[in-house]
């Protein structure tokens, strides 16, 4: 059986958004008629949040999330806990590297 075109288009749009391809997402939306479930204007901010997490700058990431989606961490305490836990792990690794 074949996969419905709508589903494939939705996967493509999700990929473009998740990977931060803002211009491509706009173009794809125009050509396919598929709209993203998020505001495409926030893609750059989302990429910056992801990069802050990758860089270990959890305070910046949390601050940006609170600015972009004020209730997200409040409504998802497990996400805030995961960020804080990773921040602690990174601090412990840094401390171990300095003393070792």
Is residue 99 predicted with pLDDT exceeding 60? Answer: no
pLDDT mean over 5-23: 94
Contacts of 31 (CB under 8 A, 6+ apart): none
State the pLDDT at residue 94.
Answer: 85
State the pLDDT at residue 19.
Answer: 93
Calculate ∠ Cα 18-23-29, nearest 5°: 80
Q: What are 61-92's pLDDT values in tens digits? A: 999 999 999 999 999 999 999 999 999 999 99
């Amino acid at each position: 059986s074949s996969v419905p075109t709508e589903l494939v288009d939705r996967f493509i749009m999700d990929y473009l958004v998740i990977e931060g391809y803002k211009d491509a997402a706009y173009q794809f939306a125009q050509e396919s008629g598929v709209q993203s479930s998020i505001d495409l204007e926030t893609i750059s901010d989302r990429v910056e949040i992801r990069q802050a997490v990758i860089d270990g700058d959890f305070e910046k990431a949390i601050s940006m999330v609170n600015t972009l989606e004020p209730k997200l961490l409040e409504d998802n305490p497990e996400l805030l806990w995961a960020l804080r836990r990773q921040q602690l792990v990174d601090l412990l690794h840094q401390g171990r590297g300095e003393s070792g």
